[in-house]
Chains A and B, each alone.
Chain A
């Protein structure tokens, strides 16, 4: 069964860039969409965007100006960069496999990112 593991700093200063990486294990990164979803404390799920294994991307319009996703198929990894962060970006960040049209069928355990000076 495919497993996902997020990695990256748990604390980011305001105005700086949040960077996370997700490692895909026990499965191929090819032929799927790979996404980032976040969940602020006590709130609901927010889709940040996805990247296809070919490198094609689609981002949440509300975050598009600050988001960049990339993928490294040789390392079975994909990454998220979110610029100019504020306290509103504090959340649990999940990397997931978005198996369109069958749903988000694999979730990482999530990593907490706090934006604070």
Chain B
């Protein structure tokens, strides 16, 4: 079955750029979504179709997808962005990555 791999953790200083990767075989041929999950909350869709932002998601969130890697980028990272982030794609079923804990310190 299809698998998506994410780094377990990423750290970033406030105001800097955070980059979270998601890897999968020929992932660039699939649409990728990204979700933010703050502690105690349900996940929130922050990127869909590789690079589009749902209404209400700040412009500092952006995404890209090419080759075997999709990337979520957060420019000017804020303390409120500290959360778990999950990538997701569709193959013969719906697949989630293992998640990345973003620490803002």
Question: Is residue B95 within 8 Å, beta carbon to beta carbon, of the partner chain?
Answer: yes
A60 engages B93 (CB within 8 Å): yes
A101 engages B45 (CB within 8 Å): no
A44 engages B96 (CB within 8 Å): yes
Give how many A residues have a beta carbon under 8 Å from the other chain's beta carbons: 25
CB nearest to B95 among chain A residues: A47
Chain B stretch 24-69: residues in CB contact (< 8 A) with chain A: 31, 33, 35, 37, 42-45, 48-49, 54
Which listed residue (A44, A49, A60) contacts B86, Cβ 8 A? A44
A43-B69 Cα distance, complex, nearest whole Å: 23
Chain B stretch 79-105: residues in CB contact (< 8 A) with chain A: 84, 86, 88, 90, 92-99
Which listed residue (B37, B42, B88, B98) contacts A103, Cβ 8 A? B88
A100-B1 Cα distance, complex, nearest whole Å: 19
Interface residues, chain A, CB within 8 Å of chain B?
35, 37, 44-47, 49-50, 58-62, 94, 98, 100-105, 107-110
Interface residues, chain B, CB within 8 Å of chain A?
1, 31, 33, 35, 37, 42-45, 48-49, 54, 84, 86, 88, 90, 92-99
Having A58-B93, A94-B43, one finds 19 other A-B pairs with CB under 8 Å, namely A37-B96, A44-B84, A44-B99, A45-B88, A47-B95, A47-B96, A49-B93, A50-B94, A58-B92, A60-B93, A101-B48, A103-B49, A103-B54, A103-B88, A105-B54, A107-B42, A108-B42, A109-B42, A110-B42
